[in-house]
Structure 1
Amino acid sequence: MNGRPGRIRIIGGSLRNSRLEVPELAGLRPTSERVRETLFNWLAPMIEGARVLDLCAGTGALGIEALSRGAAAACFVEPDARAARTLRDNLVRLKVEGGEVVAADAQAFLGGAPRAFDLVFLDPPFALGLWSVLAERLEQGGWLAGRAWVYVESPREPVPALPAQWVLHREGRAGEVRFALYRRALP
């Protein structure tokens, strides 16, 4: 974790250098500053006005970073009640508009009424191995806009099986983590 324990920093946009409180929870693994900086450099041309889904949100750092950089709205899905409460508190404390926190399991959420998102952050807890299941639900369930972008953070190996319509745009590695940005191809 970056910064002092229990806090991470927003690295760009209107909330630059703001700190997010982070609860100490088993398995919570915030995306590193270095990876977030690289990712948002890749996303710079397409973030303005985007509708964002931060699935398996944890700290919400990815979605809050997107809002800080001009995304229109972000839906944060987080099953842990304490993490969801801390995320709501961070949004209120930082006076962030356009953020909606849904305290729900990602699979249950994706079983509900779909909304089309322009950008999805897919970073489930590594121990659960949910990348392929969640990716298929996103693709088949009407959750993705026509040419949506999907960010996937996973262990370095093996690379998760993802829908054929998701075309790799860019990828990187940081330690044992693989991070990749996909573009949904139109049929």
Structure 2
Amino acid sequence: MRIIAGKHRGRALASVGKGDAAAHLRPTSDRVRESLFNVLAGGYGDPAQGARVLDIFAGTGALGLEALSRGAATVSFIENGRKALGLLHQNIALCRAEDQTRIFKADARRPGVNPGAPHDLVFLDPPYGKGLGEAALAAALVGGWIAESALIVWEESAGITPPDGFQLIEERKYGDTTIRFLERIA
């Protein structure tokens, strides 16, 4: 795994190694991440630039750190897996991004109230096929984590049902991964 573009282009991230089956770590591949950010830059006016980014089910943090490399102002990570938190801390240090990032050790389905400004760009990458994305997105909305008109990028293999307050704009399929783009609606 590496950062694809921006100021940290080519930087290798900490290896998941053999992984931890219980941790459900499934980092977004470099190819899918590159395609995703190309879609964002081409069709959505490069929403990472200057954005406050929220990475829910952050895992290794590759999506949020890619956004930071491409010009995001800050990234907040929500993660509670022990193995994932260790990798996340390593990757933030590798990118020397401690001043631009915050880690919230919390269950993504119950993140609590956001202590800061709401986020403009949200990455949501729950464990596949467990229906956790809907609960996490609804809880993030209630907790004030998501700004009005925010763009949500949801990676999932199964079908989804956007919670109230969100509208599906587009979806793209990459192998067994489907990336869906949603927007927060009033």
Fold in common (TM above 0.5): yes
Tell me how far apart the structure 2 counterparts of residues 137 and 114 of structure 1 sit (CA, whole Å): 14
Query: Is 1:63–1:74's contact at 8 Å kept on the other side of the alignment?
Result: yes
Question: Unaligned stretches of 5+ in structure 2?
Answer: none
State percent identity of aligned pairs: 41
Q: Deviations over 1:57-80 (max 9, x none)?
A: 111000000000000000111111
Q: Deviations over 1:85-130 (max 9, x none)?
A: 2211221122124111222221232x23454110111111115320
3-state DSSP of counterpart to 2:120 = strand
3-state DSSP of counterpart to 1:46 = coil
Query: Is 2:2–2:11's contact at 8 Å kept on the other side of the alignment?
Result: yes
User: Which amino acid counterpart does residue 42 of structure 1 have in structure 2?
Assistant: V
Query: Mapping of 1:55-66 within 5 angstroms?
Result: 55-66=56-67
Match of 1:54 in 2: 55
Alignment: residue pair count: 176
Tell me how far apart the structure 2 counterparts of residues 67 and 87 of structure 1 sit (CA, whole Å): 14
Query: Mapping of 1:11-50 within 5 angstroms?
Result: 11-23=4-16, 24-26=19-21, 27-44=24-41, 45-50=46-51
User: Which amino acid counterpart does residue 38 of structure 1 have in structure 2?
Assistant: S
Offset at 1:179? Answer: 0.8
Match of 2:171 in 1: 171
Query: Is 1:114–1:141's contact at 8 Å kept on the other side of the alignment?
Result: no
Query: Is 2:113–2:145's contact at 8 Å kept on the other side of the alignment?
Result: no
Q: Deviations over 1:127-182 (max 9, x none)?
A: 53201111222233322111101011111x3x211134323333211222211111
User: Which amino acid counterpart does residue 18 of structure 1 have in structure 2?
Assistant: R
Offset at 1:183? Answer: 1.8
Tell me how far apart the structure 2 counterparts of residues 42 and 58 of structure 1 sit (CA, whole Å): 22
Query: Is 2:110–2:139's contact at 8 Å kept on the other side of the alignment?
Result: no
Query: Is 2:25–2:84's contact at 8 Å kept on the other side of the alignment?
Result: no
TM-score (normalised: structure 1): 0.86
Work out whether 1:70 is the aligned partner of 2:71.
yes
3-state DSSP of counterpart to 1:120 = strand
User: Which amino acid counterpart does residue 25 of structure 1 have in structure 2?
Assistant: D
Tell me how far apart the structure 1 counterparts of residues 180 and 129 of structure 2 sit (CA, whole Å): 19
Query: Mapping of 1:156-167 within 5 angstroms?
Result: 157=158, 159-167=159-167
Query: Is 1:139–1:163's contact at 8 Å kept on the other side of the alignment?
Result: no
Question: Unaligned stretches of 5+ in structure 1?
Answer: 1-7
3-state DSSP of counterpart to 1:133 = helix
CA RMSD of the aligned region, Å?
Answer: 1.7
